[in-house]
Every structure is written in structure tokens, then in C-alpha cells.
Structure 1
Amino acid sequence: MDAFRDSYSSSYRCSYHAFLSFRGQDTRKGFTDHLYRALEQAGIHTFRDDDEIKRGEKIESVLEKAIQESQVSIIVFSKDYASSRWCLNELLKIVERRNTDRRHVVLPVFYDVDPSDVRKQSGSFAEAFARHEKRFSTEEMDKVELWRRALRDVASLGGMVLGDRYEGQFIQDIVEEIRNKLDHAALDVAPFSVGMDYRVRRLNMWLQDGSNDVGVAVICGMGGIGKSTIAKAAYNRNFGRFQGSSFLADIRESSEQPNGFARLQRKLLSGIQKGKAKKVYDTDEGTSRIKQAVGYKKVLIVLDDVSNRDQLKAILGMREWLHPGSKIIITTRHDHLLKAHEVFEKFMVQELDEDESLELFSWHAFRQSHPEEGYMELSRHMVQHCGGLPLALQVLGSSLSGKSVEVWQSALQKLDVIPNDKIQKVLRISFDSLQDDHDKNLFLHIASFFTGKKMDYTSTMLDSLEFYTRIGIENLVDRCLVKIQGSNRLVMHQLVRDMAMEIIREESPDDPGKRSRVLQKDAFNILRKLSGTENIKGLMLNLASKRTFVGCHKKRCHDEDYDGNCSRRRRLGFFAWKPIIFSSTNSASASNETDFEAEAFRRMHNLELLMLNNVNVRGSYEEFPKSSICLCWRGFQLKSVPENFYLENLVVLDMRNSSLQNVWNGIRFLPRLKILNLSHSHGLRTTPNFLGLPNLERLILKHCINLVEVDESIGYLEKLVVLNLGGCKNLIKLPILRSVRDLDLSGCSKLVLGANTTATTDHLQSTACEMKKLNLLSPKSWYSIWSSVSPRKNIESSSFSLASLPHSLTSLRLDHCNLSEIPSALTMLPSLEYLDLNYNPITSLPESMNNLVKLRTLAVEGCRNLTTLPELPHRLKELNGRGCTSLKRITNLPNLHISPPTHPLSDDIMDSGLWYYNIVLDSNLWYCGKLVDVVSLFNTPTFSSFDIKLLKDIDLFDLKPNGGIEVPRNNFCARRRSKGTFECGIFSIFVHESKIPDRFNYRSMGMRQRALGGDYGCRMRLNGK
């Protein structure tokens, strides 16, 4: 257990409320005895050193332990206190306790002495110290100075002064003060706070920043992530720095109770006013009293588990009411509880990592920091199930403590079927807080089918299902039910997904066919038994490719995305889950076992979302429901889509990894289709006719390795914005394109980049107008008149060329296309932002590259014949040239004279040292061993020899001044014998450390050197005389 956890745990093993330190000769049988009894009668358990304990080593250890196990230390300063070395040493122990744990409260009581005498060691205290100094040798005077400092520190805390009061009243005042101190004593923080130190550190820094502004911090995260624990830890460390403090726990639950807001207001006032608050009868009265209370003192207020802004307003009122320097901490599951324009600090709580999770779990399961022998593998499986959620680690670890291996194995299998109820109750609060059934159904759909999918893909599919996807996902993110992470993908904690699956199971506990969403084994059984109903809106089934089946257990099993023995869970989304794996000794019978009848879908009249993988269906496809909007059938085994398979309502058709050779015969009118994905369909030789797909937006044909041509009708798709033909290595012909924004032709090495198309723009526009008219017709009418107006009859031969690229293009990938020349027409694309020319045998780029005014990323990796780069566009942000082994010169890099970056860059970029003002050069550019010149930046001539004298060592050649540059130690440009740069009037050379001349008196080599205003990457600086 780390030191931080020790310090936090110790106070919650306290044996005493208070420790009483006093000079027995002065006050034992009088004032101190009366104070002790009054404290005990008030229920304040107090330790005092009585006469029955003999002085010596044993009593010293007993007293030290008592100080450590007390929440408050009361020090009674009397006239003869300082004459006792025992008392002064006891005082040192108390001060040490307070310095190591700021939550420990120290109350000085001045009995018949003036606080200034204690603080300045005057009066009777001066006499006592004069006697000490006579007794001590010179070597021991350090101890006397420690006593003096301790007296100054404690007397400066303020405290209780007897003055001319009656002792009885004075004692009662002390008891009341101690009671108030205990009310504000350290909160009970969960034991074994693994990883708490660094999670609290930033919050502590904010609390201690000394600002005079009223600060607000929001601690946000999913249920059970540790928000309240972090807030308590920060509160315990800092409440003593404020004139008043209050921690209001469980506001969401408390506010729902009768007169709940008024009760919370009174508790807040009691904390701020140290227990003197009167009863609050209504929220208006409470708000008025709070406004008065917080305006004249600096306070720390923690509002725990806030679920809406009304609670903030009712409990605290307006931020402007608070005294300067006050701090408010709010814990919530709602990411957007405060509005964007409001000033506040935000602390997102992340899950524990694997090592932290294992340690926390071990403390609860084994009462030690690591698993016992024989339990390591089971512990790791449990930890993986918890997904770094502290609540789950605590609940499951405690429940398994002291249990046998067999019980652990059984518990692990049960968890994969039935989620732990205690964990589910906490997580379900966020689901129940969703305001309407729309958001709840959206959550269940995402949990079932779209975890791990990109936001735009998910939005397209769910929008077609009449969800208000964008605003709905914002509401889910706000409640920490969903995260949007790298590449704009939707991510959901596994335990939250488990909760969703349990909610779906509760719709019909015993009959999966009557649930709204069915997954994996439930779906398998439904299709096998023909037991589907109209309740089913979404179905997912993923069968392992080329596997066979013997049977399926009937156990209650939700999203089966883990292997059969339930030992390892998977946390990926649709079609990334672990498929059901089956086995059989007879491959023929196995094939029959894994085929399903089309009739199984006949009763699913409301099926909108169908996701299948490597599923084979026999029978008439006319049985499939006509309500389907999203069809994702990967591994579709037929060579063509049957004509009686109703597709007209589809918005998404995903048949990647299929056996299709011809998608369908003739023309099919799918007026709603927006996404068509046929990637990795290796048998596909040509695309379908697109004239019946007027609303198609995304066409993905990636790695259709036998695709030879794309149908010419693609040129009439006005809404097509994404076309991905990456890896279509046999593609020869591509027609002209109209409005594509993202085009991927990577690996299309056989594509004929012919002359400009002969089809006129006027003809394309007129045909498009005809198609718009057709789109207004019903499918039946559309088919009946198609033959008379079909623009296909008038399509003239056209071929794609780089010169014919649409001006709408923003992203173009041409890597591995065997291009030896880039035509200047490519530089006439006004909207292009991303250009990938990697691994082409080009020798140069057009001189007009700077015409690409919006270009931000240029990639020329692996272009081994490329020797120079021309002047580049001014908006360029990233240049990747790894492996350009012939590159010698870059004509310029734009925007070199703008301020250094004010935002953090990635570690890779920092360590490379290759950031220059507002442009980032990929660190791999420096594998270009021949690169010696970047105009306006640096020039690195090669030197052939060194002379003994420094001036003869360096042959300056005819160098011209360049802009400022930092050169990293790992600069691969400097691999030749030695190089130098001339920058800002300074000549620099690069030599191996073993060849640095002895005359260089000042040498330093370190991981970081400050340069250009900050620490950036590895540096080596040599200074010579």
C-alpha cells in the first residue's frame, strides 16, 4: 500500500476523537480534569496521559500512537508548560502529525497565559527556555530551536483564550468548538485508494492556487468511477485552508426526498457557520440565508452527485454571492451540466489502468496488493470484466474474499450471464435519468449494434430509423453513458453495455423472440426455431467463417461477444465481437446445421436493422421483412442478390466480404440508399448500374481485387461524396465524377489515366435534371417510364483522368498508383486539403503546388526518386517524407516566422525536434539521408576534414543566413561524416561525441535543453572557446 493510501487510511482507524496534551503539574487535577470529563460527557472520546502510566520508552510509544489515532489534538498551554521537556517533545509529535496530514486538527487552549508569551517565548516561557539552554550542550541546541518553532507555529493558529471568563463557561466553549471541528473533520474515504494521489493532485493545485476569483470545478464521469472519492480526498486535504466548508453528499437522491432542498440548505449553512444554523423551513428562506452566509468568508463547498442545474440554483444560488477566493466542487455524471460559456475547471475521471485495477481488486479480495498463489489468472479475468471501474473492483473483490478457486470460477461464469446487481443499480441511475424513451431506445441501439462504430456512419443509419441521432448522442455523452474517442468512434464501457443487455432481457426474461433486440446465441436460437416475432426491431448474428455447429446452450446469455467458456470478454463493436465458434465431425451435416430458412424472418414485420456475418439462408428471399432499413450482411454467399429480395427501403446496404460477382441484374431503384459497401468482395468484376441510386452518398469498394471497371452511370450521382476504390489493383477504367469530396485510389496501379472525358458538362447537367424528375415518382411508375428517358442510352464513352477531378475534392489518395508524373492540372483543385502520393516513382512535383491554397497535409513517403520539393502552400501543416532517399532540397516551408506553438504537441513530434513554428514535419522526413537544404530554414554542407585549430576545422563555404532552427541529436540528416548549419549568424557543426575537440571547455548533454522559449524534445548543446 503506497504512502498516500496509508495516510488516508490511518485517520479512519482512529481510536480517539481528541488527544489532550497538558502540563500535569499545573492543571491535571483541576482545569484539565474538568475539561476531560466534559469532553467525555459530550460523547467526544478523549485520550489523556494519567498517573497510572509510568514514564519511559513504553509510554512514549503509547502517546505517539494515540496522537496518530486521534482526529483532534488539544494543547493546554499553562504557565509552566514549557518547563517540561516531555510536553515539548509531545508538542513536536503533534506538529509532525499535522504537517504530514493536514486533516488533523490542532486546537491550542491558553490557560492563564497570553498567546503572545507562547508565540514569542516571553514571560514564563522565556524563563523555561533559559533553563533548557543552560542544560543543553551546543550540539543539542537544534532540539531547543525545534521546540521554539513548534510553539510559534501552534500559537499562530489562534485558539481558545481563558482571559477573564469563568472556567465552566470556558470549558463548554471548548467542547462546542471541538464538536464543530469534528463535524468538519476528515470525511470517510474509501479504503485502499489505489491511484488516488495523481488523480487528486491537479484538483489540489487548483484549490491551492491562491486566486481571489470564485472558482468552480466540475468532476465528471460515469457512475462508480470514483468522483465522490476524489472529491472527498481533495476536501480532506484542503478544508482547513478555508474559513468555512461543507460537503453535501448525494444531492440527487436527497433532493428527491420531502423538503429535500431545505434539508440540504440547512446542512450547507451548518457547515459554513460551524453548527450554528437554525432550521430552514423553505428553499426561498434557505437561499436568502445562504446568500448572507457565503458573502463574508472564504468557503469551500462540495456539491456531490448533482444531476441538474435546478439543484445548483436551489442549494447555492448565484456564484456572484460568494466571497473572493471561495471554491466550489461539483461531482456529476452530466458532462454538460454547466454551459460552455461559463468559466469553470473540468476534471474528467478516467478508468484505472490494468495494474491499478489488479492492485485495488487484490486489496479487497486478499487484503494485500497482489493476488494469492493460484488466483492470478482468475483475478486478471475479474479485473478485465470490471474494465477499470473502481466500484466493480471493490464489489466483486469483497464478494470473493476468502472463497475457493471453484467458487471464483463459478462466479466468473455467472457474471457473463447475469450482471452483478449492486453494480447495475449504480450504473442504471444514468439510464433512468434520460428524459424520454427516444434517448433510452437510442442508447439501447448503440449498446447493441454500434459500439466502436464511427459517428457519421452511426448517424446515417440511426437517422434513417427516425432517431434524432446527434442530439440524442449528445445527451448520452452528457450522462457518461457513451464516449466519442479517437477517429470519432462511439465507445461504451463494457459494464454499461452489460446494463443495456440486462434492460433488453427484462423485456421478456423467458422468451428472447419477444424482445426488441436479439444478439448472437439468442438470435441463433430464434432463427433455428422460427420463433421470431413482430417485437424484434434489430437482430445480430455473427458466425465464425468456415466453422461448424453442434448445439447451443440455453443459458441466459446476452451479447455473446466472448468465447464459449466465458473466460475472456471482448469490448469491440459490431462485427468486431468474438464470433460464435462451433465444431462438428461431419462437415456436410455441419453445413446444414448452420444454414437457416428464409421463413425464419417472415414474422419479423418490424425488423429495421439486420446484421449478419457468414450466415447462409435457404429458401425464398421474399420472406424477408420489407421494413428493413439497414442491412449489413457480411460474407453474403450468393453470387447475385435475388430479384425477390426487397431492398427498396434500405438506407444502408453493407455486403463486404461477399461472394458477389454481379450485385444485381439490370437496374434497381433504391431511392433511399445512402451507403453501399461491397469491400473485399473478391469475385466482383463490375459495379451495379447506379442510375437507380439517386441519393447514394458513400460508395466503398475497397480491395475488390478483381474489379475491372466502374459503371459509367456513377457520373450522374450528384450526392456522392465518398468513393473508396483503395486496393482495387485490377481496376482499369473509372468514369468522370461529379461531386466527390473524398476519393481513395490507393493501389489502383492499372488505372488508365486517359484524356479528358468527351461527355459534356451540359449533357451531364441535363441528365441529372431528368433523374431528379424521376426521383419524385413511385417505384412502379419509375420502372414503367425508365426505358423511354433512360440517360444510359445517351451516355458517351468517358474516362477518368487526374485533370478531370471535380473541384469539390477535399481528400485524394493516390499512393501506390505507379505514377511517374503528377500533372499540373492536379494543382487546380481549390478545395483539396489532403493529398497522399506515397510510394510513387515520381521525380518531382509541379511547380504550381502552391496553388493548392487549402492543402494542409502532403504525404510523399517512399517516393525514392523524388529529388526536390517546390514551394509549398502557405496553409500546409504536415509534411511526411519518410524514405525519400533521393530528396536533397525543399524549396521552402511556409509560415516560418509565426510564433512558436502555444499548444502541446505529441511526444513523437517533441522528441523528434522537428516542429518549426506552425508547421509540423513528420519525424520520418529525417530518414532522407541526402537532404541538406531547406531554403529559408537551414543548410547543412558536408565537411571532409578537420584541422587542429578550430578555424581550420570548419570550412564555412559560402553560407547564407537562414531562420532559427533547433537540431535534435537524432537528426538523421547528420549521418554523414559531419555537418554544419548556419542560422541567425551562428555556425553550428555536428560531430560525434568522441571527436569533439579538447578546446571545447563547456560541454553539456541532457535529455532536454530550453530553446525557443520552451522545452521541446532531446537536445545537445556544445559551447566552445
Structure 2
Amino acid sequence: MGVQYFGSGSKTIITSRDRQVLESGGADGTIHEVKGLNEIDSLQLFSTFAFKQLNPAVGFQDLSRRFVKYTQGNPLALKVLGSDLNKRSKSYWESKVEKLKDCPPEKKISEALKSSYDGLDLVEQNIFLDIACFFKGEPMERTKLILSGCYKGAECGINKLVDKCLINVSTSYWRYSTIWTSGIFGDAISMHDTLEEMGKDIVCQESKTLGKCSRLWNLKHVKEVLKYNKETDRIQGIKDLVHLREIDLFSCKNLKKIPNLLGALNLERLDCDNCESLVELPSLAHLTSVKILRLGGCRSLKKFPEIPNNFDELDLSETGIKEVPDFIEHLDRLQWLTLTNSMVKDVSSNISKLKSLKELELSGCPIVKFPTVDVRSPSLRFKSLRLMHMDRCKSLKLLSELPPYLLDLNVHDCTSLEKVSFADKKFISV
């Protein structure tokens, strides 16, 4: 971002825990160290989370001051420690303060944070580590759904982490909408950088051998382990894919082939948008749970994919596909079919047998003729189609006996179009 984005007289504040970063950026001489909270403010913040009031409860004053002293005025440690001690017995407080007493001064803050993690049950600990390694900044609903496929009571575990101030829920932005979430802004999971580092450090301490760690997030490490396929038994992500619900390969521009997905029996969505080099798909016949397949922008894909009949949405826009084949009739649950700006010239008449199809997008295709719909045919199943867009189809010459229940037809800028006719008079607008 250049300075032109700031108004005259604007001041920019840059924060970093690494002083060298600021000094190398020319900020030497204008660096201000953020001091910790004083004792009074620290005690109030701690009490807010430990007792839900500004002052310590009766009988806990001395213990509270000791905890405040150990946190050294660090707001994060005060919040996390206070949340962990909330509604705990006095004996628990005494045990915890003794544990912190034995730590070196420079490790008291990290130990205070770690002790909150240690107090979680196994599922909660795993959820914390997953969020630290993979889900920071991700949509809340999407994260809940994924983690629920891995752990029983995952939503309760996430709520526990929120209550303990180990994670937060904030309004954030994400790039796409899914079958579970919609819109641009929504609840997302956030986590303090210190807690993220702590979680990743816990995973790193599991083993010095990468393949023996339960989680990998560094792309270089992932590549190294997968390349030699050694010591991968503990990596939770390299197992049967029965819990996998969504695969997002958006804009993997060098991807030419997708590996076999035999283990992904519960996959619901496969997103390969803008994979420009993709030339083929694996067999999807066994994926009876998939509802959405997105291949928009896969320009190297020349063949209409053979897919099972459970799909709701199929996006083949901007692909190299030239023909909609006869086997399209088997997709009797398909509701949305998009072929916008693809290379489609021929469309099988069997497309009229799609009884569930609601929207058909063929805009910008070199199609010459759309199949005639015979309203007298007992096999007619095109009864759900309400929207058909064929604008900018420059070679289209004939549209005859259009589907009988169509509500919206767009043939704008079809410069070669000579004739349009309708199967009946139920059509509303063009």
C-alpha cells in the first residue's frame, strides 16, 4: 500500500514484537516500547475474568495479587489465566500459583498460558492445536463443521476455548461462500499470535522428526514428508479421508490431475475453479455425497465429466468442453448447470430430461442450435427449468419450442438468431 492511500497529515503506527524489524525499516529513534499494565489495572482486568467483577472475591485477594505479579502486566496472560481460574476452588488456585512460583521469571507468562491449555480435556486440546495450526482466521461455521467430523462434541469444545479466552470470534472477510456459509462477512475464528505460537510449539515438541508430528502446516515441511512418504503414521491429515467434506483447489494453476478420491466417501463439495492446467478428473462415481462440483475457468478441460446423479450444482464455465453428451440425462437431481463462456457447440436433446434443473447458463458459447423440446413427449422432464441465459451466443440461429415453464430467457446480443418459438404461452419475460 503506497502513501497515496493516506490523507495529508496522517500518521502510521507500526507494531512488532521484533525491534530489529522496526529498526531495519528506518524507525530507529521513534520506537516506543509498550509497557505492561500497572498493578491496579492488572488486578481489575484479572478480576473481570476470574470473578466477573472489578475486584477479587473475599478470601482470594492475596492469591489474585500473586497471579497478577506473575503475569507481569501482560493483558493476554491476565485474561487467559483469569478465565481459567473462574469458578475454580481455592485449592485449585493454590496449586496453580505454586506451580507458577517455581518457574523462572522469563517463563512465567508462557507457563501461565500453557497451564490454561493443560487444564483442557483431550478433545479440547486437539481442537486448540488444530485452530492454532490450520483454522486461525477461518469462517466459524465452516470450522465447526470440519472439526465436528473429527471430534465428538467439537462445538462444545470450541465454546470452551472461547470461554477461556484461548480463541475469539470476530467479524471477518473470506474469499468464497460455501454450501454451509454465504455472504462475504461473517463470524471467523481469531487467536492471539502468542497463543498460535504456543500451539505450534506444542506440536513441534512432539518429535524432532517431521513425520512423527501430529500436524504439519509449513508447506516446505509438508512437501518434504510427502516426497519421501516416511514416518507419516502420526500425521492426522494423512489418513483415510472419510471425514473430508470439502476440497478447495481454487487457482492451482499448475495442477494437471487430481489424485484418486476413493477414500473421500463423505465429500460434499469439490472446488477446482481457475485450475487452468487441469486436463482430467478422477472417477467420481463412488462419491454419492457430493452436491457441488466447480470447474469454472479450467480451460484445459475438454471432456464433460462423468459424475454420479447426486449433484445439485455443476459449474463448467470457461472450460474447453465442446459438447454436452447424451449421458447428461442421468443427472436427474441437477438444479444448476453453468457453461458460460465455454466452447460448447452441441447440446444433447437428452438435456430436456433433467427434471430438477432450474437454471441453465449457456451465455457466450458458440452453440448453433438448442435442442427442441417436445411437450407431447411422455419423457419430458424439463418441467423445473425457470431461467435460461444464452446471451452473446453469436452463432445461435434457432430457438424453437422452448421449455414450457420458462420464466426468464436472455438472448441479448445473439446476432445470428433468426427464429424463436415457445412450446406454450406460460412464458413471462424475455
Give the TM bin, normalised by the shorter chain: 0.5 to 0.7
Matching residue of 1:377: 11
CA deviations 1:401-432 (Å, max 9, x no partner) are: xxxx86754448x9xxx9x9458867998899
**Which residue number corresponds to residue 502 of structure 1?**
194
For 1:205-284, what aligned pairs fall within 5 Å after superposition? Answer: none
SS of 2:320's partner is coil
Aligned to 1:884: 413
- Residue 809 of structure 1 and its aligned partner are, at CA, apart by 2.0
Q: What SS does the aligned partner of 1:715 have? A: coil
The whole-number CA distance in structure 1 between the counterparts of 2:389 and 2:84 is 45
- The 5 A counterparts of 1:164-243 are none
Alignment-derived partner of residue 206 in structure 2: 534
CA shift for structure 1 position 840 = 1.1
Would you tell me which structure has more helix in proportion to its own residues? 1
1:722/1:743 contact within 8 Å kept = yes
Residue 820 (1) aligns with residue 348 (2): no
**TM (normalized to structure 2)?**
0.54
CA deviations 1:918-970 (Å, max 9, x no partner) are xxxxxxxxxxxxxxxxx7679xxxxxxxxxxxxxxxxxxxxxxxxxxxxxxxx
- Give, in angstroms, the shift of residue 813 of structure 1: 2.2
The whole-number CA distance in structure 1 between the counterparts of 2:412 and 2:145 is 39
Contact 1:723 1:742 in 2 (8 A): yes
Distance 1:436 1:856, change over 3 A: farther
Q: 1:710 to 1:623 in 2, by over 3 A?
A: closer
Report the secondary structure of 1:502's partner residue: helix
d(CA) in 1 for partners of 2:413 and 2:83?
53
2:232 is the counterpart of 1:625: yes
Alignment correspondent of 2:151: 466
- Give yes or no for contact 1:707–1:731 (8 Å, CA) kept in 2: yes
**2:248 is aligned with 1:723:** no
Distance (Å, rounded) in 2 between the aligned partners of 1:468 and 1:889: 61
Distance 1:731 1:505, change over 3 A: closer
In the alignment, is the contact (CA less than 8 A) between 1:684 and 1:706 conserved in 2?
Answer: yes
**Is 2:348 aligned against 1:714?**
no
CA contact (8 A) 1:835 1:857 kept: yes
In structure 2, the CA distance between the partners of 1:411 and 1:860, relative to structure 1 (3 Å rule), is: farther
- Secondary structure of the residue aligned to 1:802 is helix
Q: Are 1:695 and 1:719, in contact at CA under 8 Å, matched by a contact in 2?
A: yes
Query: Residue 148 of structure 2 aligns to a residue in which SS?
Result: helix
Aligned to 2:393: 863
Give 3-state SS (helix, strand or coil) of 2:169's partner: coil
Quote the residue 2:23 is aligned against.
none
Q: What is the CA-CA distance between 1:839 and the residue it aligns to?
A: 1.6
Which residue of the partner structure matches residue 319 of structure 2?
748
Q: Deviations over 1:268-309 (max 9, x none)?
A: xxxxxxxxxxxxxxxxxxxxxxxxxxxxxxxxxxxxxxxxxx
Q: Is the radius of gyration larger for structure 1 or structure 2?
A: 1
Deviation at 1:814, TM superposition (A): 1.5
1:967-992 Cα offsets, whole Å, 9 max, x none, are xxxxxxxxxxxxxxxxxxxxxxxxxx
1:890 CA drift (Å): 9.3
CA distance in 2, matches of 1:861, 1:614: 46
Distance 1:422 1:622, change over 3 A: closer
Q: Distance in 1 between matches of 2:411 and 2:159?
A: 40
| Contact kept? 1:731, 1:751, Cα under 8 Å | no
Q: Provide the TM-score with structure 1 as the length reference.
A: 0.26
Q: Please tell me whether residue 810 in structure 1 is matched to residue 335 in structure 2.
A: yes
The SS at the match of 1:723 is: strand
Inter-CA distance 839–610: structure 2 relative to 1 (3 Å threshold): farther
What is the distance in 2 between the residues matched to 1:452 and 1:872?
A: 47
CA distance in 2, matches of 1:837, 1:829: 16
Amino acid at match of 2:316: L
Tell me how far 1:717 sits from its aligned partner: 3.4
RMSD: 5.5
Q: Is the 8 A contact 1:452 1:491 kept in 2?
A: no
Contact residue 340 and residue 365 of structure 2 kept, 8 A: yes
2:408 matched to 1:837? no
Q: Deviations over 1:92-124 (max 9, x none)?
A: xxxxxxxxxxxxxxxxxxxxxxxxxxxxxxxxx
Retained in 1: the 8 A contact 2:171–2:186?
yes
In 2 relative to 1, CA 473–742 (structure 1 residues): closer, same or farther, beyond 3 Å? farther
Shift of 1:737: 2.1
Q: Distance in 1 between matches of 2:428 and 2:226?
A: 71
Matches within 5 A, 1:790-805: 801-804=327-330
Contact between 1:465 and 1:629, CA under 8 Å: does it hold in 2? no
Percent identity reads 22
* Deviation by residue 1:618-658 (Cα, 9 ceiling, x = unmatched): 8973444313233xxxxxxxxxxxxxxxx4x143xxxxxxx
Q: Give 1:836 shift.
A: 2.8
* Contact persistence 2:367–2:396 (CA under 8 A): yes
The change in CA–CA distance for 1:484 and 1:829 in structure 2 (over 3 A counts) is farther
SS at match of 1:812: strand
Give the C-alpha shift of residue 466 in structure 1: 1.3
Report whether the alignment pairs 1:450 with 2:148.
Answer: no
Q: Given that residues 132 and 197 in structure 2 are in contact (C-alpha distance below 8 angstroms), is that contact kept between their aligned partners in structure 1? A: no
Q: Post-superposition shift, 1:601?
A: 0.7
Q: Distance in 2 between matches of 1:704 and 1:614?
A: 22
Distance 2:403 2:252 in 1: 42
Question: CA offset at residue 815 of structure 1?
Answer: 1.9
* Partner SS for 2:298: coil
Instruction: Indicate if the aligned counterparts of 2:291 and 2:312 stay in contact, CA closer than 8 A.
Output: yes
Change (3 A) 1:822 1:505: closer
- The within-5 A match list for 1:661-810 is 675=246, 686-689=257-260, 694-711=265-282, 713-734=283-304, 736-738=306-308, 739-754=310-325, 756=326, 801-804=327-330, 806-810=331-335
- 1:493, CA displacement in angstroms? 7.4
Rate the CA distance shift 1:883–1:497 in 2: closer, same or farther, 3 A: farther
Tell me which of 601, 616, 627 is aligned to 2:210.
601
TM-fit CA distance, 1:706:
4.4
Which letter does structure 2 place at the counterpart of 1:463? Answer: S
